[in-house]
Amino acid sequence: MHTNNKNRGMRTFLLASLLIPFSGALGAWSVPQELSDKVDALNKAQRSFITSGAAITVIPESQLKHELATREPESLKKLMDDLMTVAEQFGYSPERDMGAAPLNLTSDRFHWRVVTPPALREMKREPGPFSVHRYLYPTSGVPTFGGAKVAIWPEDLVAGNVDVAIVGVPGNVSSGVRDAARAPNEMRALNTIATPDLQSLVKPFEVLSVVDYGDFAVDQMSIELSIGHITAMVAETAGTGAIPMLVGGDTSMLYPGVKGIASERGAGSFGLLHFSAHPDTERNEAHTISDRQAVFRLLDEGIVKGSDTIQVGLRGPDVDASTLQWLRDKGVRYHTMAEIRQRGFEAVIERVRTEVDKGPDAYFVSIDVSALAPAEMIAAGRAEANGLSIEQVRMAIRHVCAAKDIVGFEITDLAPMMDLSRLSVMHANAVLNACLGGIAVRRAGLDPDYVHPLALDHGQR
């Protein structure tokens, strides 16, 4: 479980460095000339604490300068001792801290997410996708993704020669607004998937065999306990030849989604195109998995290669120099909103297209809906000001899904509760449909950029 602790740039910074002398791990902090007298008056440990840079991980640099400049010597010594006491307690101690949350080992449902074995299934039916409707042209009834037929077991996918299995992964545990668990059903309830691809006039549900594959079970008290099952189910689904299109769930669900594909297709055998405001490459968290760590773990465990990973739309609280440097060091091609503002969206998306075209043959496409501007996606679990427009995201995703072999798709962190108008759900469906349309265009043998003449021009003189 701790494989994510490798190659961690920051990890030695405190505990190790606090074992005097404070050296190396952190960037040294050079004491301004005018403050050096104040620092010299401190004891060796305190001086080392300041000059190693350890102090400014606990107290903002500007405040440190202020305190050095203004405090009396005794008061300054006390402050430094207090800060060092705090810093010493940052790391884990097995005598003091809970290192693992205990579980109820006598539980009769320790794993309740057990798929019903064939011999215990009451109803006998021929395998294959089936309709949940009474009418040939239903307009309402049991909601499914795009009104698709339902499949329950992998043998249904095989028998129906299913191309695309849309499946909910309603994980709700991570840091955003806790409503992502409702996203799959809300996206089913607003029946706006299955619309034709406007550019090519290809109808995805006519070209492709698409099913609603239900939801994969999650443990809403633990991402950790959900991962194994979801990974196995995604792998099993992909193993039938169907493309899993996953509907989260919060973004922690991206990790088992991609991992499941990798366990079927091979780690490092496909690229990851990830639209999100958040890089999700937190490297020093006290947990082993969360939305903020999903991409970190995928890269750290080599499930996808950094050089095959593209991130688009980055902004917000987790985008800082150390994270971008880490991404750069990993070979990730990242595109921040700063780049988009500087160079224009068209230029950046052209760059992304080129990167995808030069990249691996196969891609996993994922979008955390926070990539979109809140004006068009207010129901993002971790909404972030500014962002991409629905048309920009839709066209970029459509292109990749039309131009490349898509091994999987995932949309995450839609929190429907936050948008009473349901516009966000409509846009989430539009994003999913953009990829579905792209896959259909490719399957129909058309060029990704093909435009149907009827769609382009009315042709009237």
Partner 1 sequence: MTKLTTTIRTALFLTTALTAPLAWADDVPDMPEHVVGDAAYPFDTVDPREEKKEAIELPDSVAPKLELLTDEEIEFLKSGDARRFAGPAKATVEALEKRTPEEVKAWVNAMQHVMSEHRYEEGRDLPNIPFNTESTEFNAWRAERPRSMDPEREDGPIALGRYDGRGGPPTFGGHPLALTKEDLIAGEVDVAILGAPLNMGSGWRDSGSQATTDLRLFGRRMGSLDQYVQVNPRDVLNIVDYGDVAIDNNSTERSMRLVREKVREIAQTGAIPVIIGGDHSLEYPNVAALADVYGKEKVSVIHFDSHYDAWWGGPHLIDHGVPVYRLINEGHVRAADYIQVGLRSAGPDESGFKWMREQGMRYHTMAEVEKRGWDAVLDRVVAEASEEGRKIHISFDIDVLDPAFMPATGTPVPGGLDMRESITIVRRLCAESNVVSFDLVEFHPALDPTYKTALNSAFIVKACLTGLAMNKEGKTAEHYLSPLASEHALDDHYGDQQQYLDATKAEEEAAKSKDENREDDE
Closest CA to 364 of 437, 310, 302: 310
Q: For residue 411, count other CB atoms closer than 10 A to its CB.
A: 28
Q: Does 423 bind partner 1 (CB under 8 A)?
A: no
Nearest distance in Å: CB 440, partner 1:
35
Q: Does 136 bind partner 1 (CB under 8 A)?
A: no
**Residues between 30 and 59 that touch partner 1 (CB under 8 A):** 59
Nearest distance in Å: CB 422, partner 1:
15
d(CA 41, CA 43): 7
- Contact between residue 309 and residue 299 where contact means Cβ atoms under 8 Å apart: yes
Burial class (CB in 10 A: 0-12, 13-18, 19+), 109: exposed
- Looking at the Cβ atoms of 103 and 338, the one nearer to partner 1 is 103
Nearest distance in Å: CB 122, partner 1:
10
Sheet holding 309-314, edge to edge: 149-150, 210-215, 164-169, 243-248, 405-412, 362-368, 271-275, 309-314, 333-336
- Which amino acid would we find at residue 130? F
Out of 39, 201, 362, 417, which residue is the one contacting partner 1 (CB under 8 A)?
417
Q: Does 119 bind partner 1 (CB under 8 A)?
A: yes
Helix (H, G, I), strand (E, B) or coil at 388: strand
Out of 107, 139, 140, 421, which residue is the one contacting partner 1 (CB under 8 A)?
107
Q: Does 10 bind partner 1 (CB under 8 A)?
A: yes
Nearest distance in Å: CB 291, partner 1:
9
**DSSP at 181:** G
Nearest distance in Å: CB 155, partner 1:
15
Q: What secondary structure does DSSP assign to 357-382, as a single string?
A: HHS-SEEEEEEEGGGB-TTT-TTBTT
**Residues between 173 and 202 that touch partner 1 (CB under 8 A):** 173-179, 181
Helix (H, G, I), strand (E, B) or coil at 275: strand
Out of 37, 285, 361, 449, which residue is the one contacting partner 1 (CB under 8 A)?
285
Out of 12, 161, 325, 354, which residue is the one contacting partner 1 (CB under 8 A)?
12
**Residues between 329 and 368 that touch partner 1 (CB under 8 A):** none
**Residues between 65 and 104 that touch partner 1 (CB under 8 A):** 75, 78-79, 81-83, 85-86, 89-92, 94-104
Counting residues that bind partner 1 (by CB under 8 A) gives 75
